[in-house]
Amino acid sequence: MLLQTVRPNIVQAIRAFRVDDLLSAAQDLGHHFLYANLSSAQTKQEVLEGIAQAFLFPPHFGKNLDALHDCMTDLVNKSGSQSGFVVVLEQLPDSPRFDREAREQLLDVFRDAADFWGERKIPFRCFYSFQ
């Protein structure tokens, strides 16, 4: 199985994994598969909007990092029992308008979500790539 060698609660570069294989692995495990292709985003606001649309966040999503954290943790936790998550953030921007600091802040939200779900013994694996 593809994810056997990947820790259950981690945020890491996608590296040699293919999106289709991660989708199949998530389906095999009965985990949620959340995918956002952010190739057209250039700013933090556009990245957050792209994630919100791709992950089907509620219309009242605040399009900031705190709201993203709430949607990835508390909101989902309150919706009921969860089996696990495989998240793919493909083509994060690498531009002056979304620099290394902005990327790390975004990935920190997903690291916090991995910790949140890890405390509940629920796998949360997040994979990302850059443009």
The whole-number pLDDT of residue 21 equals 95
| The predicted structure's pLDDT at residue 75 | 81
Task: Identify the CATH class of 7-130.
Answer: alpha beta
- The sign one gets for the Cα dihedral 104, 107, 113, 118 is negative
Please give the angle made by the CA atoms of 107, 25 and 5, to the nearest 5 degrees.
Answer: 70
In the three-class reduction of DSSP (H, G, I as helix; E, B as strand; rest coil), residue 89 is classed as strand
- Counting as low any pLDDT under 50, the low residues of the chain are none
Q: List, for residues 32-45, the tens digit of each pLDDT value.
A: 999 999 999 999 99
pTM, 2 dp: 0.94
